[in-house]
Amino acid sequence: MLCTVALPSAWVNASRLEDALRLSGDPHGAAIYDVHILFPVGCKVMVDAAIRLLSLINQLSFCTLGVRLNFEEGEAGTMGYLNRVGFFDHLAPAVEVLPARPAVSGADIYRGTNLELVEIARINKDYRDETLLSRLTDALMCACGTRNDAGELKGAAWTIFAELIDNVFSHSATPLDGYAALQVYTRGGKLKVAVSDSGLGIMQTLRPALRTEFPKLTALSDTDLVVEIFRQGLSRHGPDRGCGLKYSAAKAIKFRANLDVRLPNNRVLLTPAAGSYQANTAYGYDQLPLMWGTHICFDFRLNG
Amino acid sequence: MDEPLESTTLRLADFMTSPQGWGREQGRVVYNKLLSFVESRPGTILFRVSIKGVTRVDISFASETIVELARRYRGIKGFAFIDLEDPDMLENWEAAAARKNQPIMVWNGSSGRVIGVEPSQGTVEAFLFALTRPRTRATEFVKAMPNIAIANASTKFKQLWEQGFLLRRENVAESGGVEYVYLRIGGPEV
């Protein structure tokens, strides 16, 4: 059976991507053999959506589904942007691209020339990119250097990126790569840094350990549990682990960054309130179409 | 007379492949090198950990390296930071130590502070007293604080030793019995 994901003729951030996935049914569904993703004229995929989409497409291809991406505007449209950020460099070879895969990689040609972009980087613990953290931090500082708290932000951002990427290594357990990318949106006054992996979701690894490690939390909903992961720091390995995400969140809160966490079947949006991420200001979405792994995006404001 | 305390300075950067330390896996590799270094010096009980040459560490790396080493040797060997001035790095070491409930001293010249865990209200006075000198006996504390009984003072120092705030050595007292000498972790030798 064919599943068609039709993206809208508009800016496509992670929320709009979710809308399109929901309307499509479930690309990972048992009866699905082919998935077509349509990028109409006027569709502009943002970086958080781009790397989630990349992970999802590679997951589907890994499951031997036939995947076709149809870019109606060709390279003049969002395909050109995706080529510039390195989307096609990481796309599974079996995926069909219409009108055709770009002949040359824009990311390869222009990598590092735009200070407002860190092209999609592969995260694989066997091929650790030692320069990635510095590149992400430098790009963030280039965009946010005029903030009053720029000095503090630099160290905090480095730690946040380090913990997020290390978290991908820890939870990967998959042959599929994870990805990280950053894009500044000057007009929107924000910067998005997104990290995505196709491994076991945080919830899949944590839920089974709750009964022994954190019995009081077994009754929490997935949304509330995600909040606690970032608030208290929870880990399947017990109370002296799990500090990475907690302190990353604590640092991000200082700079009033919003946090978007997509898990295999749910998504939680966290907005800082009273100096922390709270359950009562978290927006949770359940029963979403399956997307393996954990996908995290921090939104920083450019002007503090 | 007290025997001199055998100590050494350990430069963390010498155990790392780059000035930036991040991730649990890299931390575990560095930990194994640190462990070999410590095990090759069985007589050394104090390690001054210099952060010179390290530009950044994340919390996971901090947790897997010096903090884990300090926890493993709690009460037996002590690890104290020197040359740690960067506030962001300090915050990450502090977060990692707090998560493992492991106190670690940070020294800036002769001024020291503990990160990770604070001593309890009942022992803080004894801890601050011990910080002012390289070695402390319960009897010396009682002499300075005459309202505290010797048994109570001994209990406070024992707790501080068990919790990793101080080190301890057994000495033969003039009376012939065993006397415990408590050692602050780091700071200048007088």
C-beta atoms of B63 and A243 within 8 A: yes
Q: Tell me which of A21 and A237 has the higher pLDDT.
A: A21
Two tokens, residue A284: 């949770």
Residue B23 with chain A: CB contacts under 8 Å: 162, 165-166, 169
Interface contact A169, partner B, CB < 8 A: yes
Closest residue on chain B to A154 (Cα)? B88
Determine the Cα–Cα distance for residues A150 and A152; give it in Å rounded to an integer: 6
Closest residue on chain B to A167 (Cα)? B23
Sequence-separated (6 or more) residues with CB below 8 Å from residue B62: B21, B27, B92, B93, B95, B96, B97
Interface contact A170, partner B, CB < 8 A: yes
Say what the pLDDT of residue A216 is: 78
What residue ranges in chain A does DSSP mark as E strands?
A: 2-6, 11-12, 34-39, 44-45, 66-71, 96-98, 117-123, 178-185, 190-196, 258-262, 267-273, 276-285, 295-301
Interface contact A125, partner B, CB < 8 A: yes
Say what the pLDDT of residue A144 is: 74
**B-side interface with A, Cβ within 8 Å?**
18, 20, 22-25, 56, 58-61, 63, 86-89, 92, 95-96, 99-101
Say what the pLDDT of residue B1 is: 56
Residue type, B24: R
Residue B63 with chain A: CB contacts under 8 Å: 240-241, 243
B23 vs A158, A169, A243: nearest CB: A169
The pLDDT tens digits for A91-147 are 999 999 999 999 998 888 887 777 778 888 888 877 778 788 888 888 777 777 777
Say what the pLDDT of residue A242 is: 58
The pLDDT tens digits for A289-303 are 999 998 999 888 877
The pLDDT tens digits for A192-216 are 889 999 987 777 777 777 777 777 7
Point out the residues of chain B with pLDDT beneath 70: 1-4, 190
Say what the pLDDT of residue A273 is: 76
Instruction: Please report which helix (H) or strand (E) contains residue A81, including its range.
Output: helix A78-85
Q: Provide, rounded to the nearest whole percent, the portion of chain A with pLDDT above 90.
A: 38
Determine the Cα–Cα distance for residues B61 and B59; give it in Å rounded to an integer: 5
Two tokens, residue A33: 């053999």
Determine the Cα–Cα distance for residues B63 and B21; give it in Å rounded to an integer: 11
Residue A166 with chain B: CB contacts under 8 Å: 22-25, 58, 60
Residue A99: asked if its preceding bond is cis (omega within 30°), the reply is: yes
C-beta atoms of A166 and B22 within 8 A: yes
Say what the pLDDT of residue A62 is: 95
- Asked if this assembly's ipTM is beyond 0.95, the reply is no
